[in-house]
Each structure stands twice: as C-alpha cells, then as structure tokens.
Amino acid sequence: MPRSAPARAPITSPAAATVFTTVLTQGPVSRVDVARRTGLSSAAVTKAARPFIEAGYLEELASEERTGPGAGRPANPLAIRSDREYFVGVKITADDLIGVVTDLRAGIQTSRHHPLRDHDVEHVVAALADLVGELLDEGYRDRAYSLGVAISGDVDRETGLVRYSPFLGWRDVPLAELLDEATGLKTTLENDVKALAVAEQWFGEGVGASSFALVTVGTGIGSALVVNGRLVSGAHGVAGEIGHVPISADGPVCHCGGTGCVEAIASTEAILAAAKEAAGEPGLTMDDAVARARGGDESLREVFAGAGHAIGLGLAALVNLFGPERVVVSGEGVATYDLFEDQIRRTFAVQAFGSAGRCGLVIRPLPFEEWARGAAAVAVQGLFVPDRL
C-alpha cells in the first residue's frame, strides 16, 4: 500500500487549488496579480495562501517596489518552494524504462535508465520498482510520495488500467494498483503523449494558452489536446488520436486495423519500410536512409516528403476541427525534421482552413527523459485529485 504523506500541500478547496496552481505555473506572482488572473478577491487569495506558506509549499519573496500613480505599498510575490516535495516519473518503452525525480515545478533532479528485457507484466512491475528504489535512494525518499507512469496506448487514468498497449502486448492490466503495492508510492498512470502534454501545459509552451495541441512523431504518431485549460480525454479516453486519422484510401494497412492512417505512412517504422522499398535494399537502416536523403538521394527524399505530407494533413485536420492557439510538434522523429519540414508546412498551409492556418507550429525534439518528466508532472497533478477537494 502507498505510504502516508503527512503535511502535504493543503489543497482542500477549489480556491486553494486555483491559487496554488497559479503560483506553481506562473509564479513568482503577487497576491494582487493572483486575484486579477483568477477572479478571486484579494482576501480569498490571502486566506488560501496562508496554509501553503505554513506548510512550506509557498514562500514570500522580498518586496517589489511598485511604481506609477496609485501604486500603493510594495508587493511581496508568492513563489513555490520547489524542493518541498519530490515526484518520481517513469516512461515505459518497448525496450527501456526511463526514470526521473523532479521537484514541484517538474525540474529534473536526477535520472536513470533500465533496459527492459521482457514484457511480462510481473517482470515490468519488478523492474520498475527496482528503478524507483534506486532513484529514491539518491536522497529523495523522505519527501517523495507519488509516482507518475507514462505508457503508450489506451490508458484509463481514473482506474489505473492499461486497456491496450500495442508495444507491450498488454490488455486490461491494473498497472497502477500493482505499482502502488510494489513501490509504496501513490501511482498515477497516463498515456505517454497526454503526460507530455501536461508538462507542456503547466511548465512549457502551453503556459498561458487556453488551448493548444501536442503532436508526437516517432515510433507512433500521437497527439493530446488541451481546451480551456483542461486536457481532453473524450468519452473513451482516446481523444486526439490523429495518428489514426485515415488520409489515403489506398494507403498501407495500419496496425490498428485501419487503412491509410497517418501513422501507417509517417511513423519511424513506416518510413523505414518505404525507404527500403524505394532503395531496393531490405537491409537498409534508418541511419543510412537519413544520411543518404540528406546527401541528395532523390528516391529517399521523396519518402520523407511523403511522410511530411501525411503529417501536414494530420496537423491540418487537427487545427480545422479544434482550432488551438498553437501546436507543439515533438518526439524522437523530429530529429530528422529537416527532411520533411518544408512538405509539412506546405501541406499544412494548403489544407488548414482560413484563419486556422495562423496557428503557430512549435517544433522541438525531446529526449525520453522529458517524457518521464511528463509522467512526474502527472504525479504533481495528483495533489489536485477531486477527493481532496
């Protein structure tokens, strides 16, 4: 069972959650600015902040002189004490476990990798518990109570169930419950792309945006949507799956069973398969395909352009339906973005409807440690679970 966590952040009301989240994601910030940004009264902000200061989660910084007519007395900005509590995040891939410990603002303090030699549930749970133990033994055991785990596939965050993970071959695995017992930490489970979106929403490109989308390019094509500050899961937990939007009636068959999905054309595996066919070389590696395409091999450049066209269509469909302020494109496949950037942008410009095309595209490759950081950010969100409010 998860061990108790005494004197944690006193988030006991919606007002307390609002104040703490504002300082967490936008601080340091004065009480006056918190009130202005949240619509709460100054008295309500002060009342909500006091228990956090007493519990060591917030601190008052030195006063800032305010200038201008009617400036009033100096303000003492509120700031998060990032080292008050630590969070463990783990990203599960098909062949590796990547773990991090972060502070309250999802700043990575330490990280470790463990190879994953077996996909058996019992083996993965034991390996993950060993990894968590090693991370905690680096000096974080006394102030870490929560574990976030990110995994690809269909995940039910509320129940902690992995309904389907194609890369692990799992169906209906109660992973959160198993990890609660194995690690002694309260486990929150989330789809890996949605977890990465949480980190972007609270601590990255999504801060201050009412709506944005995260699209990941690599082994799969994933996406997550944030609308009005909330991550959209949909009725069945799979909202935003643009990787499985069909864009070609006579395209390749996807592992999901559909035909012509974006993922079936633009994932790493799909690109390599098309490159092998174009080059007539069954033994061609992705590294060789990339090097030769960059060297001017036209047949291979066309393969990457085709993937870029597919991604551009998927992005256009996303912004036409959803209309976000910006889209963050990331993932390990972005390392080769130079080979299909022009085609992505051309296709997007043609297919995006009207002012939807004004949506900003932010391109940033991220290492797997950032995915684990996303899992830790989900664990930070665990401070705000409904039963505490």
Which residues are bridge partners to 190 per DSSP?
A: 150
pLDDT digits 0-9 by tens, 61-102 = 987 654 444 455 557 899 999 999 999 999 999 889 999 999
Using CA of residue 332, residue 334, residue 338, residue 343, what is the dihedral sign? positive
State how far Cα 295 lies from the chain centre: 34
Contact criterion met (CB below 8 Å) for 80 and 73: no
Residue 277 in 3-state DSSP? helix
pLDDT of res. 361:
82
pLDDT of res. 388:
44
pLDDT digits 0-9 by tens, 38-57 = 999 999 999 999 999 999 99
At residue 385, does pLDDT exceed 90? no
**71: how many CB neighbours lie within 10 A of its CB?**
10
CA–CA separation, 278 and 273 (whole Å) = 9
Which residue's structure tokens are 């009130």?
35
Which residue's structure tokens are 């993970």?
165
State which H helix or E strand residue 38 sits in.
helix 31-38
pLDDT of res. 387:
47
pLDDT of res. 233:
75
Task: Tell me whether residue 106 is exposed, middle or buried, using C-beta atoms within 10 angstroms of its C-beta: 0 to 12, 13 to 18, 19 or more.
Answer: buried
Q: Which domains does the chain have, with CATH numbers?
A: 14-83 (1.10.10.10), 85-197+370-388 (3.30.420.40), 207-363 (3.30.420.40)
pLDDT of res. 297:
93
Proportion of the chain above pLDDT 90, given as a percent:
56
In which order are the strands placed within the sheet that holds 326-330? 230-232, 221-227, 211-217, 326-330, 360-363
Q: Which residue has the higher pLDDT, 94 or 177?
A: 177
In the structure, what pLDDT confidence band is assigned to residue 241 with cuts at 50, 70 and 90? confident
Contact criterion met (CB below 8 Å) for 60 and 76: yes
At residue 23, does pLDDT exceed 70? yes
Contact criterion met (CB below 8 Å) for 307 and 340: yes
Q: Which residue has the higher pLDDT, 98 or 253?
A: 98
pLDDT of res. 65:
52
Predicted model pTM: 0.83
Q: What is the DSSP string of 39-62?
A: ---HHHHHHHHHHHHHTTSEEEPP
In the structure, what pLDDT confidence band is assigned to residue 36 with cuts at 50, 70 and 90? very high
How many residues can be counted in the chain? 389
At residue 389, does pLDDT exceed 80? no
Contact criterion met (CB below 8 Å) for 265 and 272: no
Task: Check residue 106 and give left, alpha or beta (phi > 0: left; psi -120 to 50: alpha).
Answer: left
Q: Which residue has the higher pLDDT, 67 or 270?
A: 270
In the structure, what pLDDT confidence band is assigned to residue 119 with cuts at 50, 70 and 90? very high
CA distances from 265 to 97, 258, 260, 273, 296 (A): 27, 12, 7, 9, 21
Contact criterion met (CB below 8 Å) for 380 and 201: no
- For the segment 214-228, the average pLDDT, to the nearest whole number, is 87
CA distances from 34 to 10, 158, 209, 329 (A): 18, 30, 17, 31
pLDDT digits 0-9 by tens, 305-314 = 999 999 999 9
